[in-house]
Amino acid sequence: MVANAILRRKIEQSRVSVSSYPKLNVLAAAHARETAARVRALFNTLADVKTEASAVIRCGRYLRGLPTPSVLGVLEVDGVSNAAAFHMDAELVSHVIDLSLGGDPAIDSSYPDRMPTLIDLAMCGRFADAILGSFGKAVATVCRGKSLGVMRCERFETTPQMATIAPERSEVIIINQRVEVGESTRNGFFELVLPLSVIDPIKIDLMQHFGTPSSLNSNLWERHLRTTLMQSEVPVTAIIDSQRVPLSTLAGMKVGDVLRLSRSAAEDVEIVLTTNSGRRTFAAARLGAKGAAKAVKLLADPDPELLAQLRLDG
């Protein structure tokens, strides 16, 4: 029994393969700023939102860790088979309900924990719409106009373990935000639960513009590889002339025999590179001399396409 319990805990642990996903600090900070502005407009009072944490965890493990009852909004996302989610802790639910019913922002009052009613969930739905709107605007700001599609609150679940968001063992990104509202600085927490399939459309943008430790290491390795390759030697051949000769002539050649070159051979030298894919013409040249040695002089710039490949631009 003990061995089975240990094995189950290991299976449920988050995998390390998700380290390639970008940190969401910049996106979460932009979301916090947008949310604060919308909460101020929603309740007509002071509000501040701060990012507490972001993490990646298995979906089933996250849902099992939530208390019952809870306010968990299941979010439908255009173009994605998995759902996202929105969770509010009991303190935030209490403050949202109180302020929605006209409570005094200067007084820190809260309701005792209880099963949320349909009216409670409707008021939480207005708050959820503000959060989702601010997240969409944050994505557009951070990712230069890109969008994750329309996210809408489809329904609320008060028993999180019964919610269907994504496969139980798949990873989800959790963005935890702390909300302070009113002169009395009432506070509570909400979390956005985003399956990795939802974030995929903007993953490259986040990595390109803001980077991660893994991407920085990848760039260092790429620069090292590029430097090493640029120092490697490539066989270069200058072809003065080429012609077709009968096989019988070649078979009978001996010391002293002469192969006649064309009159323009010295002016039509071809410089070629030998690669794994065969010979490639590098440039046209002319035969001459430099000091006591023979030399070839380029008559035109090398092939731009071949140069781009040699510089590892393509």
What confidence score (pLDDT) does residue 169 get? 85
Give me Rg for the CA atoms of the chain: 34
Torsional sign, CA 162, 7, 55, 176 = positive
Kindly list the averaged pLDDT for each block of 10 residues, start to end, along the chain of length 314.
49 44 77 91 89 84 89 85 88 88 78 79 91 89 80 88 85 89 84 86 71 51 69 82 85 86 82 77 85 84 79 54
Q: What is the pLDDT of residue 190?
A: 92
- Report pLDDT for 231: 76
CA geometry: angle 125, 127, 130, nearest 5 deg: 110
14-213: what CATH class?
alpha beta
Q: Is 67 helix (H, G, I), strand (E, B) or coil?
A: coil
- Listed in order, strand segments (DSSP E) in 182-235 are 186-195
pLDDT of residue 36: 92
Specify the domain boundaries for CATH 3.40.1550.10 within the chain.
14-213
Q: Could you tell me the two tokens for 215?
A: 């991407």
Looking at residue 38, its pLDDT comes to: 92
